[in-house]
């Protein structure tokens, strides 16, 4: 009886992954046929289950206004969720949103944190943006951003 609950938890978590992937792929297919309402619904379902790819795509939809009203705050919200899960494109987008104060308060320290994480993983556009942001920061702010990025890496390395 003691093993029943942990076994059920593991089984349920394993079953959720294929559903999340199916929802994401449904969203991709709907987006390719320009059915943005269906893409949104599929990606929203996957995003709510923790799929960072779907969260990033929702951010892009809100950023561009494709299939939803353009809303920088909503875009930043979805980029934040995906970035926290390690999605490199979302980290780049979120960093640029912070750098410009788009949908979030302008904050070069947070911009550098996210752009630095993305550029360290090879995102070339993040590298360029990172260098632009660094030039307008104080050494103390650069250190604070680097510390935040290191803390994020430690917290997410497990």
Q: Is residue 2 pLDDT above 70, yes or no?
A: no
* Residue reference for tokens 């996957």: 46
Work out the mean pLDDT of the chain and round it to a whole number. Answer: 90
pLDDT at position 157 is: 84
The per-residue pLDDT for 23 is 82
The answer on pLDDT for 125 being more than 90 is yes
Q: Does 86 score more than 60 pLDDT?
A: yes
Separation between Cα atoms, residue 146 and residue 152, nearest integer Å = 10
CA angle in degrees (0–180, nearest 5) for 141-142-147: 95
Quick one: which of 152, 82, 60, 72 has its CA closest to 110?
A: 152
Range of the domain at 148: 4-155
Number of domains in the chain: 1
Does residue 139 carry a pLDDT above 50? yes
> What percent of the chain has a predicted confidence (pLDDT) above 70?
87
pLDDT at residue 5 is higher than 50:
no
Query: And the tokens for 77?
Result: 């919200």
Give the Cα separation of 95 and 35 in Å (integer).
Answer: 29
Task: List the CATH number of the domain containing 95.
Answer: 1.25.40.10
Q: Which residue blocks in 49-103 are alpha helix, DSSP H?
A: 52-64, 72-84, 88-100
Of the pLDDT bands very low, low, confident and very high (cuts 50, 70, 90), residue 18 is low
Distances (CA, A) of 37 to 30, 52, 67, 95: 8, 19, 6, 27
């Amino acid at each position: 009886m003691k093993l029943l609950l942990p076994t059920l938890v593991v089984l349920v978590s394993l079953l959720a992954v294929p559903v999340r992937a199916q929802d994401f792929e449904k969203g991709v297919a709907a987006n390719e046929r320009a059915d943005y309402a269906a893409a949104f619904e599929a990606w929203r379902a996957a995003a709510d289950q923790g799929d960072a790819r779907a969260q990033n795509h929702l951010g892009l939809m809100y950023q561009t206004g494709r299939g939803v009203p353009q809303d920088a705050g909503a875009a930043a919200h979805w980029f934040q969720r995906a970035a926290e899960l390690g999605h490199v494109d979302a980290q780049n987008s979120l960093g640029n949103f912070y750098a410009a104060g788009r949908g979030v308060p302008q904050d070069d320290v947070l911009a550098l944190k996210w752009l630095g994480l993305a550029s360290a993983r090879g995102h070339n556009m993040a590298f360029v943006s990172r260098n632009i942001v660094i030039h307008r920061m104080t050494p103390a702010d650069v250190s604070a951003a680097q510390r935040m990025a290191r803390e994020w890496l430690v917290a997410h390395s497990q």
